[in-house]
Amino acid sequence: MSAQPPNAVNALLANVCDVVRSVVTPPPESTHPRAEVFYFLNREGRLPRIGDERAPWTYCGWMLPYVISLHAHPLFGKCHTKLNGEFVALTPTRLSQRGIGHCPDRWGYHLRTLAAGELLDEPIPRIEFCGEFENSVRRIWEGEHEGIAGWCHVLDQTDGYSWDSFKHLVDWLAFALGVETEPPRIGINANEALYRTVNIEPLLLQPCDYFGAALAARKGSGGKAWNPIAFFPTPHHLVELMTQLTMSHEDDLRSKKVSDPALGSGRMLLHASNYSLRLYGMDIDPLVVKISKINGALYAPWMSFPLPASFFGDDMAQLNDTTFEPDVQAYPLNAGTQGTLF
């Protein structure tokens, strides 16, 4: 892809195993599907690859080690640094030393918090979301030969999924990122084609709700098969304004509850993730909820893999309880997953 930085893949793969093994160790007794790829990594000293007895795309969460490593890579993230013992925002000079991306090491922050068993004495690494209509961003979700449209085209050409290609792509990514444990219902050829083609680096260099933008854009061209509930997300710059007007800058809001009952692709929670570690939501469309989970895995881990309720001193289960609305089938973002990575 055109947005891919030079030699980024080689630089990443040189230390991906060391980075992930240093911060992620599933308990030996875990039977969660996400644990399998990390067991493989610890046992073999590498990630699964084509040519192994078991295909790499059959592991639930096989893409997570790459995402964790990309968050930790200096090319991709701008973050806070310590100055005179206090965490402060990086200056433009220091930012140039950190890299060109807008995605700080939020996975590292999340995993360190889980390891500490309590909230850290440091602020949430601030993420900057790009507008979906910026040219470099738009190419990723709209381009015919690269990005999301190109990935859908791969499915069309491989197994002829046609109108279902976008949904199958979302299912494939949700399994690859470990936010869903059910494998995508596509063939071996389509799985391998996506495995060889999909590149998530540009999505992390310029954070944005790419899949929400792609879904909304297909309403006009694809009709109800693409967008059955006429979903159109609020532009990122407006969401950021609404978030700043709502969330205080003076107080530590990490323990505050943020719940969106009309979740969509999760933009409100993505922007709120700069302030809060307690992000919850639901929606009547399971497709957009799945997109929200993908966005969380890419940009705000505590959105898709929530911290234990004990970190905050109370029980959060009621936020995703849908029994109060018996006439509407609502799909929760993360019910029953509090504190569970494996």
The pLDDT of residue 325 is 43
Identify the domain boundary among 177, 206, 225: 225
The pLDDT of residue 23 is 53
CATH number, position 276:
3.40.50.150
Residue 124 forms part of a structural domain = no
Residue 98 forms part of a structural domain = yes
The pLDDT of residue 30 is 62
Smallest Cα–Cα separation from 177: which of 74, 33, 53, 330?
A: 33
Residue 88 forms part of a structural domain = yes
* Choice between 321 and 280, residue whose per-residue pLDDT is larger: 280
17 in the same domain as 112: yes
Helix pair 165-176, 210-222: axis angle to 10 deg? 170
Quick check: 297 pLDDT over 90?
A: yes
Residue 243 forms part of a structural domain = yes
100 in the same domain as 142: no
Beta strands in the chain (DSSP E): 80-83, 86-89, 257-260, 278-283, 331-332
Q: What is the pTM of this model?
A: 0.82
Quick check: 220 pLDDT over 80?
A: no
103 in the same domain as 68: yes
Residue 341 forms part of a structural domain = no
Tens digits of per-residue pLDDT, 233-292?
Answer: 899 999 999 999 988 776 889 999 999 999 999 999 999 999 999 999 999 899 999 999
Residue 293 forms part of a structural domain = yes
Identify the domain boundary among 193, 225, 257: 225
- Residues of the domain holding 36: 8-116
Tens digits of per-residue pLDDT, 83-142?
Answer: 444 434 434 344 334 444 577 889 999 988 988 889 999 999 999 999 888 888 888 887
266 in the same domain as 214: no
19 in the same domain as 101: yes
- Contact between residue 306 and residue 337 where contact means Cβ atoms under 8 Å apart: yes
CA distance 73 to 67: 10
Tens digits of per-residue pLDDT, 130-166?
Answer: 988 888 888 888 776 678 988 888 888 887 666 688 8
The number of domains in the chain is 3
- Contact between residue 214 and residue 166 where contact means Cβ atoms under 8 Å apart: yes
CA dihedral 251, 254, 260, 266 (to 10 degrees): 110
* Choice between 58 and 165, residue whose per-residue pLDDT is larger: 58
At 341, is the pLDDT very low, low, confident or very high (cuts 50, 70, 90)?
low
73 CB neighbour count, 10 Å cutoff:
22
The pLDDT of residue 195 is 95
CA dihedral 226, 290, 247, 306 (to 10 degrees): 180
173 in the same domain as 82: no
Place of tokens 């470099």: 136
306 CB neighbour count, 10 Å cutoff:
26
Residue range 11-35: mean pLDDT, rounded = 58
Residue 125 forms part of a structural domain = no
Smallest Cα–Cα separation from 128: which of 246, 2, 278, 244?
A: 244
